[in-house]
Amino acid sequence: MKLGIFKSKFATLIIAFTGFFLSAGCAQSQKQSLVDDSQYLRNFFTIYNYVQQFYVEEVDAKTLYEGALKGMMESLGDPYTVYLDVQDMRGLSDTTSGNFYGVGLSISKPNKNTAEKPAYVDVVSPIENSPGFKVGIQSGDKIIEINGEPTAPMSMEDVLSKLRGPRGEGVEVTILRGKTVTFKKVIIRDLIQVPTIEYCKIGNIGYMRLIQFTPDSAPGVEKAIKSFEEDGGYDGLIIDLRNNPGGLLDSAVKVADKFIDSGVIVSTKSRISTENKSFSATKKATIVKKGTPIVVLINRGSASASEILSGALKDYHVAYLVGERTYGKGSVQQVIPLIEKDGTKDGVKLTVARYYSPTDCNIDKIGIPPDREIKDGEYSDEETKAFIKMTEDRVIEKYVEAHPNMTEADISKYADELNAEYKINKRLLRRLIRVETRRTKSMLKYDLDYDIQLVEALKIVKAKDFKELVASTKSLEDLQAEAEKNETAENN
């Protein structure tokens, strides 16, 4: 009976996938390949039947079904191709809509796990003001344990199921920062409301921080531009994509269209003909005047849709990039739902294409380098250890509680005192104290005392020679050709 149920479900899955790939023009054309497929499926059902009849304990059909799909996805060696159980599918829907319970970390995980290179969980970026952000987890950190269990052998679904859960419950993570510093943090799960955009003016420069790409991003950018125009206009724009993990491709295209009036914004290429698409700018959608000085801020937490936007603006010489090399996620995923009998859904998320910039470059595992590199957040192991001790002892938190309404002069003086004891960068200390003083108030939209990348962006966007500066930048095509030339020279 169970075999029949499983066969029915698996057959439905095969039909769904077959229909998907046939409609995409990917039907197998060679007879030998079809014979092989048929034999593999017969072998699969034979082993399934054997397990059901002879395994030492009775096994639920769903367990074998989910295990088979997990194994199939993991065998592809792609960290973005995964099986999604019912809970994962619900969570994915919540993330896309912008609300879910969790720790607020955008993560990725290699599929291949070896003793030399464990498949730890990589933190792409924390969502601002989320539980993970508040306990100090940063882009580039690695989660090596969750509630005492090593993450290296876990699947991505296991990681997500352990990080997400009921609101108000804590989850303990062990963090590896750099090569040697490890520490534990307890993160209290909460409602994660993914914001889209924050904006304001810095003098006469419009500043927009895009936090994630959702359906609200393009309308948010339009609203920001209109606000700047109504507030006396603007002489330049800064688009802050730092720690933006991406989101919807369509949203990135619509945002780019606000700044680019013609030409391809991004294209996707696949062995599936229907996934070969090109997204172009339209003059009607463009709202920013051509020639407006624009600087884009990027860092290692800028990924996926962030790289689509920054890559397009770079290739067309519309904007100048400042900061650090981006994450390097240049692939496109499609979610394929599989409907259960009771109406609930599981599914798979499958990489179906790679995306390419206007100059036909893919940045997967490469990233986009800035036109001007300004590194930030690079601290020694000694500073990191001192920082961890200071935060664990709640030193700043206790001081601010005892000294409410601190002024900037008070903040600077206390930072000097902390530096004498902990030997941590004073700029960072002032930032930490400033954030703590505003914990019960609205957070600052920018911090020019701390944010050296933003300060540099302001200098560049105001520069008299900005037009010549941005025109002289290299496109992604130029950079990749240059890298290939250098690699060839080194090999010879």
Q: Are 127 and 211 in contact (CB under 8 A)?
A: yes
- In the numeric block, the tokens 């050296």 are attached to 452
Report residue 188: phi and psi, to 5°: -90, 115
Tell me the C-alpha distance between 283 and 264, whole Å: 12
329 flagged as catalytic: yes
What are the CA-CA distances from residue 448 to residues 83, 427, 453, 454, 455 (Å)? 44, 10, 9, 7, 6
User: Residue 159: which of 70, 48, 41 has the closest Cα?
Assistant: 70
245 vs 128: CA distance, rounded Å: 12
Contacts of 390-396 spanning 24+ positions with Cβ under 8 A: 390/418, 390/422, 390/424, 391/136, 392/183, 396/432, 396/433, 396/436
C-alpha dist (Å) from residue 283 to 256, 373, 456: 12, 32, 31
Name the catalytic one among 109, 134, 185, 329: 329
Is residue 184 among the annotated active site residues?
A: no
Q: Decide if 456 contacts 442 (C-beta within 8 A).
A: no
Question: Which residue among 190, 257, 315, 346 is the active-site one?
Answer: 315
Report the C-alpha gap between 471 and 459 in whole angstroms: 17
Distance CA 317, CA 359 (A): 12
SS3 for 67? helix
Dist. CA 51–CA 272, nearest whole Å: 35
Catalytic member of 304, 306, 310, 357: 304
Q: Select from 322, 256, 308 the least CA-distant residue to 454.
A: 322
Structure tokens at 307: 């790289």
Considering only CA atoms, which of 145, 127, 130, 137 is closest in space to residue 177?
A: 137
Residue 423's CB is within 10 A of a number of other CB atoms, namely 11
Report whether 332 contacts 275 (CB < 8 A): yes
| Helix, coil or strand: residue 434 | helix
Question: Active site includes 270?
Answer: no
353 DSSP β-pair partners:
332
Active site residues: 304, 315, 329
